[in-house]
Amino acid sequence: MHIHILGICGTFMGGLAALAREAGHTVTGCDANVYPPMSDQLTALGIDLIEGYAPDQIALKPDCFIIGNVITRGNPLIEAILDRDLDYTSGPQWLAEHVLRHRHVLAVAGTHGKTTTTSMLAWILSQAGRDPGFLIGGVAPDFGVSARLGTAARGHPFVIEADEYDTAFFDKRSKFVHYRPRTLVLNNLEFDHADIFPDVAAIRRQFHHVVRTVPAAGRVIWNGADPELVATLALGCWSEREAFAVDSGWHFTADGVLDFGGQRFGTLSLTMPGEHNRLNALAAVAAARHVGVAPQEALAALQRFAGVRRRLELRGQADGVRVYDDFAHHPTAIAASITALRRTVASNERIIAVFEPRSNTMKLGAMRARLAESFDGAAHVYAYAGGVSWDVAEALAPLGIRAETHADLAQLITTLARNARNGDHILIMSNGGFGGIHAKLLARLQPPTHPSVHQP
């Protein structure tokens, strides 16, 4: 089959392209911005990429066009496809029919922690010799790729990051409704994606829809301490349930031992700091057990887990200043990342938070009332206000002189470099590339080199 993917450089669609190519399909694709790293990954797989959405791409005559959820009506290629009555489908639907069908799908859903938990779970199963397939919304260093087919046979595990974002312009259900998991992880539930959901109740309804697809012999692994998930499961659940983060379910004892039902399995050792990552690990261990991996074996695998890129990832150090990259873009995630970093650095060392409100929810200003409090653990906050219409400085006003807002990225980098001092930890948070700020800042922080002076 020849598929042509519209919006191929997105994380999900790029992963789908890699899976389709590995399965033997001919894959081509287009995007408005064909750029690294996804473009490099796809080119290395032999996938031809086209810049833009010119309607003449229908001359490729694929068997099916796969439409990414970034594509809207009015797109010239979409209009040509519709006018000519050509075959098209969504990415989640194609994945469900051609990759996930008859696999044991382990789907990881939640407002936060999906990428990390999915990576942990795929790593545990891989270390246990299960050769899982996976599709992750990021690149785990342990794998070096975001997607892999694994053993494509009936009943073999496939681990997927299950996103609640909508499917396509013609299918407004959440992506995860298509996946039909046998093991469903529900990490947490908060209001997000303000561009498509009016309130948290609308998101809860979508979570309920995916719960409805889990068979009675399947299992829902859920955060028992999350009130929104309590409300979600109260809408109906017809499968086995195992809670975590509560004493009645999977939890860590006061001395740090993993416990479930009074049975103790050992301690958790993670390279990734933060209580939120310990909860992610709990969910991954519980989910792996549903496909026969002993908790002790899962804990041993997690000791060797290298983490996930863009999750408190140290990008470099210059002149005694450490620069980190983090994907946090929601107040809850921002606070969790700062807290996690605080617990790993000396008490006299400053955490400098740098934030870009880039997500659709942030651009709409839906979370601005909670923004200032999410930075409580930072000594100073620098916000980049380019690209948003609301007053970022006003939202951060409760922080007083601890906060600065900049509309010019170059000036922001200059200010950061000038004010940084030895021992600082600069935590840069955005769900995008942030204009390459990490490398630019590290370059500015490099101390000047002086030519050696030769004495006569």
Name the more confident of 271 and 134.
134
Question: Residue 145 pLDDT more than 90?
Answer: no
> What is the pLDDT confidence band of residue 452, given thresholds at 50, 70 and 90?
very low
Residue 364: what pLDDT?
67
Count the Cβ atoms, other than its own, within 10 Å of residue 343. Answer: 11
What's the pLDDT at 360?
67
In this model, does residue 450 exceed pLDDT 70? no
pLDDT of residue 455: 46
Which one is predicted more confidently, 190 or 186?
A: 186
Query: 216 pLDDT exceeds 80?
Result: yes
Asked if the model's pLDDT at residue 37 lies above 80, the reply is no
- What digits encode the pLDDT tens for the residues 224-260? 999 999 999 999 999 999 999 999 999 998 888 999 9
With a cut of 80, say whether residue 31 has pLDDT above it: yes
* 3-class secondary structure, 147: strand
Q: What is the pLDDT of residue 71?
A: 94
pLDDT confidence tier of residue 5, bands split at 50, 70 and 90: very high
- The residue with greater pLDDT, 159 or 437, is 159
Structure confidence at residue 194 (pLDDT):
66
Overall average pLDDT of the 197-206 stretch: 89
Tell me the range of 96-100, 337-341, 390-394 where mean pLDDT is highest: 96-100
Q: Can you list the domains of the chain with their CATH numbers? A: 2-92 (3.40.50.720), 102-303 (3.40.1190.10), 313-445 (3.90.190.20)
Which range, of 46-60, 211-225, 330-344, averages the lowest pLDDT?
330-344
* Whether the predicted pLDDT of 354 surpasses 50: yes
Backbone angles phi, psi at 42, to 5 degrees: -70, -40
Q: Are 358 and 387 in contact (CB under 8 A)?
A: yes
- Alpha-carbon gap, residue 400 to 410, rounded angstroms: 23
CA proximity to 233, closest of 193, 186, 287: 186
What confidence tier does 208 reach under pLDDT thresholds 50, 70, 90? very high
Token duo for residue 355: 């934030």
Question: Quick one: pLDDT at residue 36?
Answer: 64
Please report the pLDDT score of residue 287 as a whole number: 97
128's CB contacts (< 8 A; 6+ apart) are: 288, 293, 297, 298, 301
For 101, other C-beta atoms within 10 Å of its C-beta total 11
pLDDT of residue 86: 97
Q: How confident is the model at residue 339 (pLDDT cuts 50, 70, 90)?
A: confident
Q: What is the pLDDT of residue 396?
A: 85
Say which residues have a Cβ less than 8 Å from residue 444's Cβ, sequence separation at least 6.
413, 414, 416, 417
Residue 172 has pLDDT above 70, yes or no: yes
* Type of residue found at 251: H
What does the angle CA 34 – CA 366 – CA 369 come to, to the nearest 5 degrees?
130
Task: Please tell me which residue, 353 or 107, carries the higher pLDDT value.
Answer: 107
**In a 3-state reduction of DSSP, which class is residue 238?**
coil
Using the 8-state DSSP alphabet, how is residue 412 labeled?
H
Predicted structure pTM score: 0.82
Is pLDDT of 451 > 90?
A: no
How high is the pLDDT of residue 393?
84
Task: Give the angle 338-340-342 at the CA atoms, nearest 5°.
Answer: 65
pLDDT given at position 199: 87
Q: What is the pLDDT, as a whole number, of residue 448?
A: 65
| Strand pairing report for 166-168 and 171-174 | antiparallel
pLDDT in tens, 63-101: 999 999 999 999 999 999 999 999 999 999 999 999 999
Residue 456: per-residue pLDDT = 40
pLDDT at 311 exceeding the cut of 90: no
Residue 275's alpha-carbon distances to 151, 183, 268, 393, in angstroms, are: 33, 23, 12, 30
> At residue 454, does pLDDT exceed 50?
no
What is the full DSSP assignment across 111-143? SSSHHHHHHHHHHHHHHTT---EEE-SS--TTT
Task: Report strand pairing: 263-267 vs 257-260.
Answer: antiparallel
Per the listing, tokens 């290395």 go with 44
Lowest average pLDDT, out of 60-64, 104-108, 173-177, 252-256, goes to: 252-256
Q: What is the mean pLDDT of the chain?
A: 88
For the segment 396-449, what is each residue's pLDDT rounded down to a tens digit?
888 899 988 888 888 888 988 888 899 999 898 887 778 788 888 888 888 765
State residue 367's pLDDT score.
73
Task: Using the predicted structure, report yes or no on whether residue 33 has a pLDDT greater than 80.
Answer: no
Report the chain's C-alpha Rg in angstroms. 23
Mean pLDDT within 138-161: 87
